[in-house]
Amino acid sequence: MMAEREEDDDTEEAWMQLRPTEPLPSQCCGSGCSPCVFDLYHRDLARWEAAQASKDRSLLRGPESQRDSR
């Protein structure tokens, strides 16, 4: 039964629910912030793509989350 749960977690739909949401153009102020909301989105999207490719959800946690879990 646990194996069924793990298989369900790896479905395309389950992964799509974890995919970062692209910011709207109106969410960027256009003043050259560093990091910009789009920089953060692209960072999170790259992390999500790597996690999905390796089917490793632990990669979705950022460095802050990994530090807090010590």
14-56 pLDDT per residue, tens: 889 899 999 999 999 999 999 999 999 999 999 999 999 998 8
pLDDT at 68 (0 to 100): 44
Quote the pTM value. Answer: 0.69
pLDDT of 14 reads 87
Give just the sign of the alpha carbon dihedral 41, 46, 52, 57: negative
Instruction: Count, in order, helices (H) and strands (E) of the chain.
Output: 4, 0
H-state helical runs in 1-70: 2-9, 12-18, 37-54, 63-68
Q: Which are the contacts of 61, defined by CB distance < 8 A and separation ≥ 6?
A: 69
